Amino acid sequence: MLEKQIKIKGCQVSIIKPNTCAYCDKGIDPIIINKFAYKYYDQNNIVVTYQCPCCEQIFFAMYPITLGNNLAPLYYYEIIGGHKTEEKFDECLKDVSQNFLDNYNDAYFAEQAGCTHILGIAYRRAFEFLIKDYAIKYNPEQVAEIKEKSLSKCIEDYFPDNESKELLVRTNWIGNDFAHYQSKHEDIDINDLKQLIMLSVQIIVADVKKKEYISKIK
């Protein structure tokens, strides 16, 4: 039995890691790549992204949890795997937010694996990394302040172009919808959120390249 302590939402919990790869069926001690908590109706859950050290495939384990109750180790109730393709982005984003790239593709892997209930929160998390890491890149003296600010406040403070700001604000609205019981925009689905994030990426990439050329050409 592979027991591991992890920290999630400020709580230290113990989980039981899978000991067999969902792909190659070898006995393994899988590598934890990422983890996050989400609430679906009245049930709190943890999703842990694992990587097999043998075949290097990615798979997911889902754990039910009552936050604050960390006495007994949590056992996963579902393993989700399958062949994954990675979303490709402009190379300049690696220097802006590797966090965004990692979290977006975790969400994309989960989508391909059929984890439909967690996608909105997962994609919204990636979007927050994109916005805050961009703000930090060009305002390094404000790192602590940016980390503490709400996402809406970061959009307001660091994106002066009104048209871009309006799109980013709406991306945030839709991402937030997926974190709540009642959606305010019931005609909008996960594909709309992904499209909004891709448009947001275009805004960031265009701005980064614009700054690079302005700096390069004197």
* Nearest to 155, CA basis, from 127, 187, 181: 127
Give me the phi and psi of 22, to 5 degrees please.
Answer: -70, -10
Q: What is the pLDDT of residue 112?
A: 79
Average pLDDT in the 129-142 region? 97
Long-range contacts of 191-195 (CB under 8 A, 24+ apart): 193/120, 193/123, 193/124, 194/123
Average pLDDT in the 132-149 region? 96
Strands 43-51 and 31-40, how do they pair? antiparallel
Average pLDDT in the 196-201 region? 97
Q: What is the pTM of this model?
A: 0.66
Percent of the chain with pLDDT over 70: 93
Q: Which tokens go with 116?
A: 């439909």
Q: What is the pLDDT of residue 40?
A: 65
Dihedral sign (CA 61, 62, 63, 68)? positive
Calculate the average pLDDT of the chain.
88
Confidence of residue 183 (pLDDT cuts 50, 70, 90): confident
Beta carbons within 10 angstroms of residue 90's beta carbon? 14
Confidence of residue 118 (pLDDT cuts 50, 70, 90): confident
